[in-house]
Chains A and B, each alone.
Chain A
């Protein structure tokens, strides 16, 4: 007997939700406790392929793996799928490189209270991107399903709206109560990058502050690049394993990137660089200006350190640390 599909969205599902196929992949995934420390450049070269489905951790301009996003653009990756799961500044970066052409939308184009990105809007209005529509919670449970090794998750949102109509979800009936649910198909991303506070050389990670969907995302992803503020000794991880929220067997690369969420906020470390983010939005208003801006900030930079040095260096980082701890004038 098959479950009756009561309604169905018209949005394309860009990733295969088949849990047995995912199991075949994970069966072969490395479980050896071995060092995985490498540069962001090497990690992106090795683990990010054209056409892959990509997800980035954090929340738009909070605890984002900026260095990985820049490197993906620098290496000119194309035709990727992307999870726009409150993707704000990270979305600006990927749009600048026209990296993806398939997009699951929950929240894109905007930078919350900072306004809309002119360039992300241009790209989204160009017709170059195939769009499926979802919500933040919908994408969260799609990762949660994958993390649990199942092909879908039932949720009670989106029914009755155009968000459902343009999604790939299906309305089904609960076999116990007869109540309707939106079945959300699992996403097993080909590759994800998550920025954390601390990791050891094997990829055992500690992160502080909000987790957004990153704990599920880490488990759902076939390949996972970790960038961390600091490498810490494995002895410290073993001293109290209760702080480990992403274990090494999920991780393929560990890259130490101090101030790795810059120009975004990093909980308990540094606040976002609002001046730089305003400058970015301003540069996007003019296509030529943006080309120069991207050349300066991404294409001509060898790595994240060079990007930071061009934007105020340690002195700026110190000021952003003060802002994080003083809790004043967030928007200045």
Chain B
């Protein structure tokens, strides 16, 4: 088995979810690394979009901002925020990767605050940025995050970004575009999807070296389990060398 860290495993797992010819809205860091890896492995025709306006770039190195000049390097278009989000709202963005300080069993994300006083929060985080927009519009939302019981919380302080809201058909009733929603949660320990009717988070694969108990113990709510739970495949030597040598040679992301 190749030697790798959990960040590398999460990025490789995420990259394999992106099929050739698909489109993806990404941010900086791990999501961008996953999209770049997918382009250099199974999905050379993956189209990458950045919320600030960069469309279909050939990213030379990890951007530091979703609006910096790396996001339009050899791009097919340098546009604006409405152009990108409206492309997503029309239904042309297949995937997006998001994150947050907290996630609940329906894949709702909090990146706004801790504490209950909105005007005087205990901890203030950045807020939605484009996360709520991408999660509302992109067909399949994915999250890449390390797993612990505080982050995977029974009740999150604030829903910044919609998952399946309160589960069941609540998202469909909310007014958000039909058929879009959370698809995969990729952690250092496992891969989860969402059960079709209840829309609750469900384990579908476990990473090498972890057990079902580890995954449940590091989650603040009860996880459903798929009838057959796969063992997630470790990164291949090929994936690792591309990731380390071509995508993130300075280890900005994979060194974290």
Which residue numbers of A lie inside 8 Å of B, CB to CB?
58-62, 84, 86, 88, 105-110, 112-114, 116, 121, 124-127, 129-131, 133-138, 140-141, 144, 155-163, 166, 171, 179-182, 208-216, 265, 267-268, 271-272, 274, 324, 327-332
Contact A140 B132, beta carbon cutoff 8 Å: no
Contact A330 B62, beta carbon cutoff 8 Å: yes
Question: What is the CA–CA distance of A137 and B130 in the complex, to the nearest angstrom?
Answer: 7
- Mark interface residues in B67-99 (1 if CB within 8 Å of A CB, else 0): 111111100001111100100010000000000
Contact A131 B72, beta carbon cutoff 8 Å: no
Question: What is the CA–CA distance of A256 and B89 in the complex, to the nearest angstrom?
Answer: 38
Contact B128 A136, beta carbon cutoff 8 Å: yes
Looking across the interface, which residue of chain A has its beta carbon closest to that of B70? A330
Known: A210-B71, A324-B69, A330-B70. A137 touches B133 (CB 8 A): yes
Q: Tell me how many residues of B have a C-beta within 8 Å of chain A.
A: 63
Known: A156-B137, A162-B112. A209 touches B127 (CB 8 A): no
Q: Is B54 an interface residue (CB 8 A)?
A: yes
Q: Is B203 an interface residue (CB 8 A)?
A: no
Partner of B72, one of A155, A157, A209: A209
Contact B52 A212, beta carbon cutoff 8 Å: yes
Known: A156-B137, A330-B68. A163 touches B112 (CB 8 A): yes
Contact B125 A109, beta carbon cutoff 8 Å: yes
What residues of chain B lie closer than 8 Å to A171, measured between beta carbons?
175
What residues of chain A lie closer than 8 Å to B78, measured between beta carbons?
208-211, 267
Of the candidate stretches B9-17, B143-151, B155-163, B226-234, the one touching chain A is B155-163
Tell me how far the C-beta of B118 lies from the nearest C-beta in chain A, rounded to whole angstroms.
6
Contact A137 B175, beta carbon cutoff 8 Å: no
Tell me how far the C-beta of A111 lies from the nearest C-beta in chain B, rounded to whole angstroms.
8
Tell me how far the C-beta of B175 lies from the nearest C-beta in chain A, rounded to whole angstroms.
3
Enumerate 14 A-B pairs (CB-CB under 8 Å) in ascending A order: A62-B52, A129-B119, A131-B118, A133-B127, A157-B85, A160-B170, A179-B175, A209-B72, A210-B52, A212-B67, A265-B69, A274-B64, A327-B73, A331-B250
Known: A136-B51, A330-B63. A144 touches B160 (CB 8 A): no
Contact B80 A159, beta carbon cutoff 8 Å: no
What residues of chain A lie closer than 8 Å to B70, measured between beta carbons?
327, 330
Looking across the interface, which residue of chain A has its beta carbon closest to that of B109? A161
What residues of chain B lie closer than 8 Å to A210, measured between beta carbons?
52-54, 67, 71-72, 78-80
Tell me how far the C-beta of A248 lies from the nearest C-beta in chain B, rounded to whole angstroms.
21
Question: What is the CA–CA distance of A210 and B52 in the complex, to the nearest angstrom?
Answer: 7
Contact B120 A62, beta carbon cutoff 8 Å: no
Question: What is the CA–CA distance of A328 and B70 in the complex, to the nearest angstrom?
Answer: 10
Given contact pairs A88-B65, A129-B119, A181-B175, enumerate 16 new A-B contacts (beta carbons under 8 Å): A59-B66, A62-B69, A86-B52, A105-B127, A133-B112, A137-B133, A155-B89, A159-B176, A161-B162, A163-B127, A163-B160, A208-B78, A210-B72, A265-B65, A272-B64, A330-B61
Contact B171 A160, beta carbon cutoff 8 Å: yes
Tell me how far the C-beta of A79 lies from the nearest C-beta in chain B, rounded to whole angstroms.
16
Tell me how far the C-beta of A24 lies from the nearest C-beta in chain B, rounded to whole angstroms.
27
What residues of chain A lie closer than 8 Å to B131, measured between beta carbons?
135
Q: Is B216 an interface residue (CB 8 A)?
A: no
Question: What is the CA–CA distance of A215 and B123 in the complex, to the nearest angstrom?
Answer: 34
Contact A161 B125, beta carbon cutoff 8 Å: no
What residues of chain A lie closer than 8 Å to B252, measured between beta carbons?
113, 331
Question: What is the CA–CA distance of A180 and B136 in the complex, to the nearest angstrom?
Answer: 13
Query: For A114, A182, A210, A328, which residue has the most chain B Cβ atoms within 10 angstroms?
Result: A210
Known: A144-B82, A330-B64. A158 touches B136 (CB 8 A): yes
Contact B52 A59, beta carbon cutoff 8 Å: yes
Q: Is B208 an interface residue (CB 8 A)?
A: no
Question: What is the CA–CA distance of A268 and B137 in the complex, to the nearest angstrom?
Answer: 31
Question: What is the CA–CA distance of A140 and B130 in the complex, to the nearest angstrom?
Answer: 11
Contact A160 B128, beta carbon cutoff 8 Å: no
Question: What is the CA–CA distance of A131 and B115 in the complex, to the nearest angstrom?
Answer: 15
Known: A136-B129, A141-B82. A161 touches B159 (CB 8 A): yes
Q: Is B174 an interface residue (CB 8 A)?
A: yes
Contact B128 A121, beta carbon cutoff 8 Å: no
Question: What is the CA–CA distance of A281 and B242 in the complex, to the nearest angstrom?
Answer: 33
Partner of A112, one of B28, B137, B158: B28
Contact B68 A212, beta carbon cutoff 8 Å: no
Q: 4 shortest A-B CB distances, which residue pairs? A: A180-B175, A210-B53, A160-B174, A59-B67
Contact A124 B176, beta carbon cutoff 8 Å: no
Question: What is the CA–CA distance of A107 and B68 in the complex, to the nearest angstrom?
Answer: 16
Looking across the interface, which residue of chain B has its beta carbon closest to that of A330? B64
Looking across the interface, which residue of chain B has its beta carbon closest to that of A332? B250
Q: Is B121 an interface residue (CB 8 A)?
A: yes
